[in-house]
Amino acid sequence: MANLLRQQTKLTVYGRKPRKCTVPVNDQGKFLKISQYYGENVYNYHLSKSLSLEDKDALKQVIDGKKAIDKTLATKVANSVLEWAISKGATHFCHWFQPLTGSTAEKHDAFLNFDNDRAIETLSASQLMQGEPDASSFPHGGSRATFEARGYTTWDLTSPLFIQESANGKTLVIPTAFVSYHGDALDTKTPLLRSDLKINEVMTKFCHLVGMKEVKKVYTTCGAEQEYFLIDKAFYFSRQDLVMTGRALMGSLTSRNQQLEDHYFGMIEDRVLAFMQEVEIELYKMGIPAKTRHNEVAPGQFELAPIFKDANVAADNNQIVMTVLRNVALKHDFVCLLHEKPFAGVNGSGKHLNWSMSTDTGVNLLEPGHNPHENYRFLAVVATVTEAVYRHADIIRMGIASHGNDHRLGANEAPPSIMSVFLGSTLTSILDSMISGGKYVASSKTVLDLGARQLADLFKDNTDRNRTSPFAFTGNKFEFRACGSSASIGYPLSILNSAIVDIFEETNKILEDELSKGKSQDDALAAVILKWYGNAQRVVFNGDGYSQEWVKEAEKRGLGNMRTTPEAISVLKDSKKTNVLLKTGVFKESEISTRHNVMLERYIKCREIELRTLSGMVLKQIVPVAVDYKAQLAESVKKQKELGADASLELELLKDLATLSKTVYEQTVNLTGSLDALHKHDEETIAKKIASELMPQSFKIAELCNKIEEIIPDENWPLPKFYDMLFIR
């Protein structure tokens, strides 16, 4: 029956057609340009007719952090927001926040109210600004007792309000922070906002010290590239492991997968392209600038990349992107997999964080200019960032730790778990020449001769890109490539910002000391460059980060290599390494403890779900199908011998299958027993034993299942195979 179901599922998928969505048109039925509907579902107070110019100016000052919002202004804004939301067809509002689950949460309330017996729509200032979800029902790492339920959501004025559309209505979404009754951050947004304030404070001072007196604000910018897989939902719901864990816990790899390198940037299939187009329409309406779409390396894998925004809004936008990808995928009869490694043997998915710092005057502080060797301000920023990664590598590594990311980091497809910085040949040569006291000679812009006059000339960049580096300089920004595809980017961003702030505070002191001695700005910046780059050179690596030679070399250099999440999480119990988070004010001590407990608990729970799902599938699906086929083979051997025919082939298959099925059964029973026995230990021991003992056991069980799959005839196998899921659309 299960085998028949698999065949019917494949036929269903074969018959799928691209879904047509509603494309925005004008009154004459002509397609609108993106610019004509971009941001139509985003509240823009500048366009409000009910707010005066004075109100708008006051609100801008609040958003810029120059003053607090008062009740009178909040009431006016609430009325303006209500008027706009109702005009768009919204009937409800929700406080939208990002708890420590890594995803988002929301509770919807209707605008409905009553004036005596008359039904009316209202949105009060207090409803706009503050909500009260149950703080004990979200991960809190033991910082709350179960009966202490009160928590608060508070409106983040720096992130735009937007309309969320569904099949039968619309909801006003209010981005908020989420804190406990005592004011501890129980989300990813609050620390990120704190880190942005610290970046602004320390970098504005830096700008003033180096002569940029007109700068009033500095903020971090981010563009989060999002990788994902698409598989047909019929296959997805036929695989218990995908539903329960987000990844295939077993499966024999197809003979052709990504080795021909034909999927990357290949032609996008019609059904997938239709999905991408609908995703983009939804994102554009919510003011999210999706810029790039393409096939990724693995079959069934794709990527979406946005244009840069300030880090806080970029973090919110990325959460919306993940939600829209999942929701729209279902409309197209797909399921979007955001797990870091849904299929063993082919590339997993990451989320590259393109990070920089910009001023309110429009200057990117990581822009090298035409003559980077003469741009001491730029070189000082690069040197300071390099020192930050070197000094705080362990805490930065912790920020991207997760059970899913453990399958990628160091797996010859993603940056290693060793934190290093790629600067490229040109930038490294400039900095090395300063350290050695030599003179750097700039090369002229190279034109590549392609040998075909029909082609436009190409100007060669000063530096290549390094896809094997976890933290790479890529022209005018750093690309933090190690973040997992399912992760909230707010957490690693807040930690990275903390590390940057810490070193820039010291940079500013060096500049002040040097300038007080009468040194020129360039001489003072040179002192910064020499100090930090001279100290942090060992973290700079421009070679192949996938190679074993680098692992050995990194160990010689004294660089950390925490391969598993339990190792990385343990950093949060090291006060020397977490001190940077405290002294910069981005986290409180209690919040660090909370995150340690939450990350540890989540790792254990997710791994336990995986291991128990694997055990269940082996005992209820793999072993039974192996036993059935053994019976078929035994019957065939018996008949062959009765007829005097050669049954050596069937006998050999029977022996192999008997050995495999017996071994996989025994190892699965042992795994379940080991898992049950874990609960006598404390959580840290449990996590370490899972990582070091049980996960290797599970991989061996998966390999045995794969060998059984290769013996069982295709028509007898009950589960959708990698071929089905990765190639049939």
Instruction: Write the pLDDT tens digit of every residue in 617-643.
Output: 999 999 999 999 999 999 999 998 888
Axis crossing angle, helix 311-331 with helix 189-209, rounded to the nearest 10: 140
CATH number of 1-36+226-248+257-350: 3.30.590.10
Percent of the chain surpassing pLDDT 70: 93
| pLDDT tens-place string over residues 229-264 | 999 999 999 999 999 999 999 999 998 887 777 788
> What is the per-residue pLDDT across 457-482, written as a single tens digit (0 to 9) for each?
545 455 555 678 899 999 899 999 99
Burial 27-55 (b: 16+ CB within 10 A, else e): eeeeeeeeeebbbbbbbebeebeebeeeb
Query: Cβ distance 482 to 470 under 8 Å?
Result: yes
pLDDT of 15 reads 86
Dist. CA 523–CA 527, nearest whole Å = 6
Residue 363 phi/psi, 5-degree rounding, is: -95, 125
Q: Where are the domains of the chain?
A: 1-36+226-248+257-350, 38-187, 189-218+363-587, 603-727
pLDDT of the residue at 458: 46
Q: What pLDDT digit, counting tens, does each position of 136-149 carry?
A: 677 776 665 555 56
| Per-residue pLDDT tens digits for 439-462 | 655 665 555 455 555 555 545 455
What's the token pair of residue 412?
A: 């010859």
Sign of the CA dihedral with 464 first, then 467, 468, and 470 last: positive
Q: With cut-offs at 50, 70 and 90, classify the pLDDT of residue 2.
A: low
- What is the tens place of the pLDDT at every residue in 285-308? 999 999 999 999 899 999 999 998
Lowest mean pLDDT among 371-380, 504-513, 578-587, 694-703: 371-380
pLDDT band (50, 70, 90) for residue 64: confident
Given this model, what pLDDT does residue 167 score? 87
Residues shown for the chain:
729
Please check whether the domain covering 603-727 is classified as CATH 2.40.30.30: no
Query: Do β-strands 226-232 and 471-473 pair in parallel, antiparallel, or remain unpaired?
Result: unpaired
Please determine whether the domains at 1-36+226-248+257-350 and 38-187 fall in the same fold group of CATH.
Answer: no
Considering the entire predicted model, what is its pTM?
A: 0.93
CATH top-level class for 38-187?
A: alpha beta
